[in-house]
Structure 1
Amino acid sequence: MQAIGLCRFSYPALGGFQVGHDTTEERIAYLYDEARLEERFSLLETVALPCLKAQTDPDFSMVFLIGDQFPAQHAKRLESLLSDLPQAVIHREPPRQHREVMKEVLNAARINPKEPCLQFRYDDDDAVSVDFIARLRRTVEDSAGLLKDQRSVAFDWPKGYIAEFGPDGIRAAEVFRPLNVAALAMYVKGGSPVTIMNFAHDKLPRFMPCVSLPDAAMFVRSHNGSNDSRQGLARHVEVAPLDAEGEALFRERFAIDADQVRRTFSA
């Protein structure tokens, strides 16, 4: 069963942001600001990509959506960072309505739309556990009876970490966040055009069954200077520097290396 991830990398969508702008030009200027992009690339390199490259089950597709006006030098940088992630493709689109373009991109990525698939959203500053794809597949197989008569079913792992990354390393706190974007996926039956982007992530259980597995920590949600998580949905979390044991856990569970974080954010 095909598994498809979709990451919006500074794509200037119409809608879809908690940070508001009056015009598309203002949004593009905000998203492509050099200082902001530098932070996003640092987080992509040290947080979001390592766990994808380390997945114990590498059988998944990953689409990175960027704008058709994305600066050429940064497009080359993105291509370089993705060069050793063979599952990744870069898709360019002009500014369009957020949900509509995301739904189209997901459906276009389906190899055989008549077959069921798995879908997940992925933010460029978050991480999932290195066994996320494997756990997702195993859980879907275990849920065969539930899937039989459903158009779609959500799968949620609500335990994880809120973390901040910088020159001093990683500050984090363990949290329980049901229906977080990270470590949330959806089964779609064959022949259905529905996608995970048809729904707000925190409202999925209103429209379909949702299987929640509150066992192992499965995500790292980044809080930083330029992400939407600092807006109204963000809740204050007291983070603390990781000790040696915590750094080892982040390295083994999420492929996030604290020394790499320190080097990258000190550059």
Structure 2
Amino acid sequence: MGHRNQIIGVIRFSYPATDGFAASRMEEGALEAMLYAPDRLASRFAYLETVTLPSLAAQTDGDFDCVILAGTSLPRDAQARLLALADRHSFLRIAFLDRMGPLAAARRSFRRAVRDDATHVTGFRLDDDDALGVDYVAKARDRADRLLAGGFAEGPTCVAFTRGLYWDLHDPDQPFHSFREAYAPSLACAMITTADMPTCIYRYNHRRIATFIPTYLEPGGHEMFIRTLHDSNDSGRSIPPHSEPMETVGGRKLLEQRFGIDPEAAMALMAGPVRNSDGSH
């Protein structure tokens, strides 16, 4: 029987998971107050609508689905805004789920998008402030289909593209850095499974995924992901060692040409340097 491989992504949007994040240790009420603070939600929507969704809308292969996972406790106006985005983008689905562990929530989100005729799913993960290259879906499908056809993905198997762009929103002098990940990154990374979703890409620490399942890494070609850095990153991101600074004009061109992002709108997200409590940078 031939393979019918469906591409599905999951984006977690201020989801109050019971673990998996530094903030998850907070009491539920305090966690939701932090996640749903009006200023924070405004910035998350700005990243989602200016950076993440344009890169998905610009995909050269539009035959994919992407589920935004949010909590049932998300304020109603924010829920309505997400639903309006799904009306605007045919590839989007919205899943409002009660608070639970990150793996269970992610698996339920993936399953909501699985089509009846799919034999396999290539599921990718994407943060709500990051982006994918415009040919990511096309290339992920091609590599996954080849692995399936060759018998190399009989169990869960990972496909990852390791070249990307780091973008520091608090460094107006040097915002862009080109980098090749040494391991499978958390974005431009997908897992091939059967359509019954025995597991998903959120099951493993992305930095160690190749120690658990077979992983195909592709280091060549163009930049395939953008990872943003700003003061509300939960994971404490930083510009990695051995990255290569890129001129701002070159970074702006990549935003448009490789990621389908409006460079003027994107650069308007830039903020000043992060200040410490004593007022220093």
Structure 1 stretches of 5 or more lacking a match?
Answer: none
Stretch of structure 1 that moved more, 56-65 or 90-99: 90-99
Identity of aligned residues (%): 28
Q: Could you tell me how far 1:156 is from its partner in structure 2? A: 0.8
How far apart are the structure 2 equivalents of 1:183 and 1:149?
A: 18
| Aligned with residue 32 of structure 1, among 23, 36, 39 | 36
Would you say 1:156 and 2:160 are equivalent positions? yes
Q: Which moved more, 1:31-40 or 1:18-27?
A: 18-27
2:251 to 243, 246, 260: 246
Does the 8 Å CA contact 2:66/2:91 hold for their aligned counterparts? yes
Describe the shift of the 1:20–1:143 C-alpha distance in structure 2 as closer, same or farther (beyond 3 A): closer
Amino acid at match of 1:230: G
Q: Which amino acid aligns with 1:246?
A: G
Residue 224 in structure 1 maps to residue 201 in structure 2: no
1:182 paired residue among 184, 187, 195: 187
Q: C-alpha root-mean-square deviation of aligned residues, in Å? A: 2.6
Q: Counterpart amino acid of 1:229? A: S
Task: Say if 1:156 and 1:211, in contact at 8 Å, map to a contact too.
Answer: yes
User: How far apart are the structure 2 equivalents of 1:7 and 1:149?
Assistant: 24
* Contact 2:21–2:235 (8 Å) recurs in 1: no
Q: Give runs of aligned pairs for residues 56-205 of structure 1, distance below 5 A.
A: 56-112=60-116, 115-148=119-152, 150-165=154-169, 171-177=175-181, 178-191=183-196, 193-205=198-210
2:14 alignment partner, one of 10, 13, 19 = 10
Q: Which moved more, 1:78-87 or 1:8-17?
A: 78-87
The residue identity in structure 2 corresponding to 1:244 is V
Q: How many residues align?
A: 265
Change (3 A) 1:169 1:253: farther
Residue segments in structure 2 that go unaligned for 5+ positions in a row: 272-281
Query: TM-score by structure 2 length?
Result: 0.84
Question: If the length of structure 1 is used for normalisation, what is the TM-score?
Answer: 0.89
Deviations 1:158-205 (A, max 9, x none): 110110237969811011222211100011135552222222222221
Verify the 8 A CA contact 2:6 2:118 in the aligned structure 1.
no
Give 2:260's aligned amino acid.
Answer: A
Q: Any idea what SS the aligned residue of 1:11 has?
A: coil
